[in-house]
Chains A and B, each alone.
Chain A
């Protein structure tokens, strides 16, 4: 349905329309549920990515900095490589980094109602788990212990 038909939330209407007018897909904020609203089954909601596939999400989003081959890059600073990185040993470390961000790494599950200049990319728990597992089983990594969406959810105690 078109959200613009809603008479309930004029501000929402404006926001959505602006998103559309500006080329932001309306689904961009799919996971940004109102904290007071009941939890949605995130596993079925692929949000702006349109997929839960870890490799596809990695290649569309993460590869911007970490590169398609996962080796990162170095200029005045560096994007870390996943190849042979000891940090990959902990699936939780990788998941938390994705969820909360670290330095110039954006958070992919930022606090609700956080104000940004631009809408961030929200990834659901399944997507985060799949990306973590993709990274930890590619780029020369072969860790045997995949992380699950439930594990990812457990890392976010405040998440409803």
Chain B
């Protein structure tokens, strides 16, 4: 296979997205700014919509984050709001699996979660960047307690089945050796005057100094065994007290082995904007956010309601739905306006009388394949044996990630980690497996990084997003070309209907995308409602 073969497949940008599940947020920022939300250092709160025109009503489809935000804000403004939700609880993809939960995927396989009390995984979103002001503001408003989510852990592993004999390396050593060798190379060409054309004489000295500091080079600008390098990559024997306390330096890995290992590919993950410290998570599981919303909204959410048709005319919107707890009949709900947050994976199958542009937009986007697998072990060996407290190990095996809980450190008893988080082709293949097969694969692969796996494994839960009945996919897989052609048509009002959700944002897969799309949509809804109210 020639090198050209890969070129057409991926751009650097898509690659970054792949590794980070992230996207540029400039546009989102713009949108928030127009609502007066995020331009400043200090978050100023949400739009004050009210008051709503007297008697104006809104039907919200879906009680995920976008629907919940919509309902909360519109109710505050005085609208009559009703929410229809397919599931028996709120949250949508904001979801936490705990012991006692039963999850039945499409195809009918049911999994009983047997995690111990207090242990969980978040099959969907699991981290809150500190600059996702919208979702964080709702955590504050609704009293959702937050704690740190650990993205970068210098003591976690980077693993390649094809490098270092398959032995996992500590993030710290890969980073130190990679930076150290690069710094040495740069210092060499700088000293030899090969950069004189682009580096001034004054800058040259400073550049050399910075390379020495950045790369942990010695006074001869070499990256080699000694205090400087061990102070980054760790010591062969850590310093301590008393007669036996003398530290021993560790041996850096050579340039070729570092480069050839390709482990450097995972180093910048925590430098991506959406993954930078600090990241946060709700204490007790991501669905604490959904639960807080649901408490606040109370009876206006009608659960177990499967939408079957959306119809609008000049006077309002009528939504047909079925009560999945009492199947048979068709029920209807009516309102002046409709904010539809149903994922496009599902909405594209529903009859809805909107115009060709929105219809085409809804049909244009397929959903990303992704899988998360939670594994319970008899003890927290990653802390006890490996000294890993939170953070993520990366591997070239299909499981891609192992993420350690950033909570409950040193807890006695069992522990749950995220034993796989994979996307793309590997996720498609694993979706075709049964849940038990997926868990088995995760344990087998993870054992290459943590040999404790087989002896300590207790039970697991595997969520393949294309098999999730209420989502049928992980998130809207926009391409730039599709966005160019369809995005504005997707977000624009069609009569009395407007869409919201991560799919209607430039922050796919992020809850902040759902929040900001909802705020954007209801701002426009309110203007329309006011205009209509003035005419009436």
Interface residues of A (CB under 8 A from B): 3-4, 6, 8-9, 11-12, 14-35, 37, 40, 48, 59-65, 67-68, 73-79, 101-107, 111-121
Contact = CB atoms under 8 A, between A and B. Distances in A.
A62 B428 CA distance: 8
B6 A103 contact: no
B363 interface: yes
Interface string B420-431: 001111101101
Interface stretch (B8-16, B211-219, B517-525): B8-16
Given A21-B394, A30-B5, A60-B429, A103 B466 contact: no
A56 to B, nearest CB: 11
Nearest to A11: B12
Contact of B431 (A19, A29, A34, A64): A64
Interface residues of B, number: 76
B367 interface: yes
A60 B471 CA distance: 21
Contacts of A35: 8
B477 A103 contact: no
A46 to B, nearest CB: 12
Contacts of B468: 75
A21 B18 contact: no
Given A64-B464, A115-B480, A117-B477, A103 B363 contact: yes
Contact of A9 (B3, B86, B368, B471): B3
A115 to B, nearest CB: 5
Interface string B232-270: 000000000000000000000000000010111110000
Given A4-B260, A20-B265, A115-B480, A29 B10 contact: yes
A119 B425 contact: yes
A107 B9 CA distance: 14
Task: Indicate the member of A60, A101, A107 with the most B CB atoms within 10 Å.
Answer: A60
A73 B469 CA distance: 9
B396 A60 contact: no
B185 interface: no
Contacts of A61: 428-429, 432
Across the A-B interface, the 10 shortest Cβ-Cβ residue pairs: A75-B469, A29-B9, A21-B265, A118-B424, A64-B431, A77-B346, A32-B9, A73-B106, A103-B348, A34-B4
A14 B369 CA distance: 24
Given A104-B473, A114-B479, A116-B14, A27 B1 contact: yes
Nearest to B367: A104
Contacts of B3: 3, 6, 8-9, 12
B534 interface: no
B21 interface: yes
A108 to B, nearest CB: 10
Nearest to B158: A21
B109 to A, nearest CB: 10
Contact of B423 (A11, A59, A111, A118): A118
Interface stretch (B74-82, B222-230, B397-405, B490-498): B397-405
B345 interface: yes
A100 to B, nearest CB: 11
A94 to B, nearest CB: 17
A121 to B, nearest CB: 5
A32 B6 contact: yes
B12 A21 contact: no
Contacts of A67: 106-107
B467 interface: yes
Contacts of A8: 3
A121 B428 contact: yes
Contacts of A101: 366
B387 interface: no
Contacts of A120: 424-425
B481 interface: yes
Contacts of B18: 18, 22, 24, 117-119
B106 A79 contact: yes
Given A17-B262, A101-B366, A24 B424 contact: yes
B66 to A, nearest CB: 15
B366 A29 contact: no
Nearest to A103: B348
Nearest to A62: B432
Nearest to A117: B17
A76 B470 contact: yes
Contact of A48 (B10, B108, B264, B425): B425
A77 B432 contact: no
5 contacts: A24-B425, A33-B8, A59-B432, A68-B432, A117-B508
Nearest to B20: A117
Task: Indicate the member of A33, A37, A118, A121 with the most B CB atoms within 10 Å.
Answer: A118
Nearest to A112: B8
A73 B107 contact: yes
